[in-house]
Every structure is written in structure tokens, then in C-alpha cells.
A and B are shown apart, each in its own frame.
Chain A
């Protein structure tokens, strides 16, 4: 697909979306922290562009300020043509609107992505930043060495934010057939998450959407289908709260005070999951709407 065709695609897709309609279930509170989560998106194929256009269209109703990237940001290479086709072009409208992207690295990503300014990694493979009352921790699960674990422990310990959210590529829990849970990583990270009160964790790697029932009080999400898709790969288990593996998707999140609302949206605009939970609960309860 040449550049001109891509631009036409970008221009026309939101129109189709408007015709299809879009039901937003998020409250859009004044002063809330609003973001989107996408993983395994960097294919450069039409579905990635369609998801990006859907994100752009929904932003008219839900003006999110930033996007967290759950890894596999650029598949297949790291030439300038790759960055253009798999990031700059699909998300151009969002980038032009001032939406910031905060990347974490997947197993298909080169470490040099940390020096690419639009990924806002500050030259680090793992890093932290704050948005309102939320502190985000972007981790590199390709290489969870003692140095990173020490850094994370210290940052979590020193965090005074109401919300602590971690995101990275490999899921600690997963009901997908292809990859599934990274059990060893879970054994390494989850004790820290529990000890320091991490409330929500976002991952990719499995090319589906899945939300787990809270595990040890933590809400785990997989959103690894914002470009890639492994149709039919989700094998619902007793930890699955909701899941979707029939189309590409992305996740919208809003945090206002002690409440986190979420809505997962498919490429074609269908709401595939939604809900809300409070950080105040010691034993978090998630409710669908």
C-alpha cells in the first residue's frame, strides 16, 4: 500500500466510524487522567491503521492525552521506513493532536527504540512518569535483571501517588494458548506489586484482549491485539473475567480520584469489555456495566 493510499485510508476510516456510531461508556470527568493502551501494534498492515483511526475518532468523545504502548511497537526491522509505516503514519493524526506515546519494549523491538523521542522513553529501557495522581512504571520484561528489579523496588517504595500502574510486554497471567502466562516473571514481579500496592497491570504479547479476575488484589489486562491478532487463541479459564479474540482492539482508561473506568473497543467500534473498580478496596471488586 503506497503512502497516498494510506492517507486516503486514514481520512476515510473515521467517516465510516461516525456512520457506524460509537457508544462511549466512560464518564469523561473533568480533570481525570485519560489514556489508551495498545500492544503488539507495529505491523504496518491495514488493521493497525484501522485501529489507529478508530482511536482518533473516539478521541472526539473521549479526549485522552496519551497512549501507553505495551511492546512489539515495530515489527520486522527498525529502518526509518519501518518507523514511518508502523508508527508515524498510522498515528499521525493523534501525534499531530499532541497525544503523547509512552513505549515499553517487546520481544520484537530493538533496544535502540529507547532513543526515539516520540516514544518518550528518555533513553531508558525502563522508566517512570506521573500523570495527575497516577504513577506509571514502564518495564522491560525482555530483560528483568537485578538492576531493574532494584530500580523498580526503589521507585515503588518512594512513590506517593494514589495509583501505581505497571505496564510491560509479557503478561503475568494469560489464558491464551500461544504464549500464555510468564510464570517466572510473575514469581519475580508480583510480590513487589503486592507489597507496594500496584493496582493495575497492562501487558501485550498474546494477540488478544483479556481481563483477568483480580489476582492478589491486582487488576491484570492484556491488550496485545492493536495490530496483530491471533483469532480464536483465547482459551477462557477460571481467571478470565472478560476476553475478546475475534478482531483487533484497544483499551481506553480513565482514572478519577479513587476510581478507574475502562472500556475495550474493537477495530470496528464494538465495546468488547467495560467496567470500573476502585483503588480503595483492599479486595478490589470489578463490576461490568
Chain B
């Protein structure tokens, strides 16, 4: 599977590879480029989601702040419903495609095997009791369930996300969460070793 990613990258980076000549050098460039291409693809998919959210939000009232908690709650519910409706056909793997998921799993595995991994694992293990979460795209993360602190070491290695988007570890899955609505946008099952 990993070789498939690199083959894809090879196709995308063929011009730069060709310039180098020498088999060893070519392989080196392909290996280096592979993650970048995959991450760029991921970022583009996330941007597309954020753009959809913005379009949906622009179609009614953008809520900056309010003294009225009822208004905040209603805005969130309405926004979530409209996003779900706009991407009703969305499914697991739309953003975390197999290639992207593989790259993310690599990053997570490296983080959990690196020096200092013990404190990362401890961060993930520190949790309040909660009922098991059903992971499904377009489902809202339950309001009454606490969120896991994301390990800072892992966040430093994962691609940056736009405003109001976040990664979360839920069970062993890595979840892409919309912070404005708490909607599960996508997830990678069994991402944490």
C-alpha cells in the first residue's frame, strides 16, 4: 500500500525526478515528495469542507458572539443540520482517503514510538468516564461527553487545520471534528497503535 502512495507521488513529481538522473537519487526524491503530496491532498479536502461550511453559514446568520446562550445553541443546531443536509452523501474515507489515512497512521505510529512516547500515551489515557461514542460521519459528538486532550507532540506533527476544525482521538480512532457544530467530518479507525 505504501508503495502505491509513492507510485502516485512519482507520477505527480515526475518532472523533478527526471532532472536528477541516477536511480538512487530518484528514489530519494520520490520518498521525500510522497508525504507532501498526500498532505496537500488532505489540506485541499479540508479546505473544501470549510468552504462548504462557510457557504452554508453565509446563507443565514453568522454568529460572532451573543449574550444569549439560546441563540448560540440554536445557531449551532441550525448550522449542523444544514451542513449535514449539504453533504448527506459524505462517508468515512472521503477526506481521510486510504492514502491519506496511511500517511496519518505513519505519523501517529512514529509519535507513539518516539522518545517521550510514554507521556504522549499518558495524555491519551487521561480521560473522564464517558459512554462509548458511535463514530459516524455527520453525527454530532455528544454534548455531554468530554473531549480528550490532544497530545501536543502529535499536533506538532499533524498537518495544520483551518480555524474551528480539530483533530480528536476517540478510542483508537483519529477524528476530524468541526468545532463549530461538533460534527464528525471524517475519521480513521484504529489509528492509534
Contacts and interface: CB of A to CB of B under 8 A. Distances in A.
Q: Do A and B bind each other?
A: yes
Interface of A: 75-80, 82-84, 88, 107-108, 110-112, 115-118, 122-123, 141-147, 149, 170, 179-180, 182-185, 187-188
A146 B66 contact: no
B167 to A, nearest CB: 8
B25 interface: no
Given A111-B166, A116-B65, A184-B123, 13 more contacts: A78-B143, A79-B143, A115-B63, A117-B66, A117-B67, A123-B64, A142-B150, A144-B150, A146-B156, A182-B149, A183-B119, A185-B149, A187-B119
A95 B182 CA distance: 29
A84 B69 contact: yes
Contact of B128 (A107, A115, A118): A107
A179 to B, nearest CB: 6
Interface residues of B, number: 36
24 contacts: A78-B73, A78-B76, A79-B69, A80-B70, A82-B69, A83-B69, A115-B63, A115-B66, A115-B72, A116-B67, A116-B69, A117-B67, A143-B149, A143-B155, A144-B152, A147-B160, A179-B126, A182-B126, A183-B119, A184-B120, A184-B122, A184-B153, A185-B123, A185-B149
A216 B179 CA distance: 35
A144 B153 CA distance: 9
Contacts of A187: 116, 119
Contacts of A149: 152
List 7 tightest A-B contacts by C-beta distance, closest first. A83-B69, A80-B70, A184-B119, A111-B179, A144-B152, A145-B155, A188-B152
Contacts of B76: 78, 112
B98 interface: no
Interface of B: 63-70, 72-73, 76, 116, 119-120, 122-123, 126, 128, 143-144, 146-153, 155-156, 160, 164, 166, 179-180, 182
Contacts of A184: 116, 119-120, 122-123, 151-153
B111 to A, nearest CB: 11
Contacts of B123: 182-185
Nearest to B65: A115
A116 B72 contact: yes
Contacts of A146: 155-156, 160
Nearest to B70: A80
Max chain A Cβ within 10 angstroms of own Cβ: one of B66, B73, B76, B148: B73
Contacts of B143: 76-79, 110
Contacts of A83: 69
A144 B70 CA distance: 29
Contact of B152 (A108, A122, A185): A185
Contacts of A118: 67
Nearest to B127: A107
B51 to A, nearest CB: 20
Max chain A Cβ within 10 angstroms of own Cβ: one of B69, B152, B155, B180: B69
A110 B144 CA distance: 9
A117 B152 contact: no
Contacts of B152: 144-145, 149, 184-185, 188
A103 to B, nearest CB: 13
Contacts of A180: 126
Contacts of A179: 126
A80 to B, nearest CB: 4
B150 A143 contact: yes
B160 A110 contact: no
A117 B148 CA distance: 25
A95 to B, nearest CB: 11
Nearest to A79: B73
Contacts of B148: 107
A115 to B, nearest CB: 5
